[in-house]
Amino acid sequence: MGKKSNTSKRYAAEFKRDAVALVHPSGRTVTEVARQIGVSPEGLRNWVNQDKADRGRGRRVR
């Protein structure tokens, strides 16, 4: 059995911006985009929600 790492993977701000940009105009779900780019849906959802908060829109993505 392998050991599970407790460290989370860090992504560059540019990668996060690009990932968020893939969600908005595409009409695809966060899960679909996350699977395509190889990140967790929860992580991408957090990035999308943070982007909305940064832009002054408080509505969260589910």
For residues 46 and 40, what is the distance between their CA atoms, to the nearest angstrom? Answer: 10
Question: Does a structural domain hold residue 30?
Answer: yes
pLDDT of residue 7: 57
Residue 14 reports pLDDT greater than 90: yes
CA 58 → CA 16, 24, 46, 49, 52, distances in Å?
19, 15, 13, 8, 6
Is 0.75 topped by the overall pTM? no
pLDDT surpasses 90 at 2:
no
Band of pLDDT at residue 24, cut at 50, 70 and 90: confident
* Residue 55 pLDDT: 87
The Cα 44–Cα 32 span in angstroms is 10
Question: Would 60 be classed as within a structural domain?
Answer: no
Query: What pLDDT score does 13 carry?
Result: 94
In which domain, by residue range, is 18 found? 13-54
Residue 7 belongs to some domain of the structure: no
Our count of domains for the chain comes to: 1
Please report whether residue 1 resides in a domain: no
| Percent over 70 (pLDDT), the chain | 77
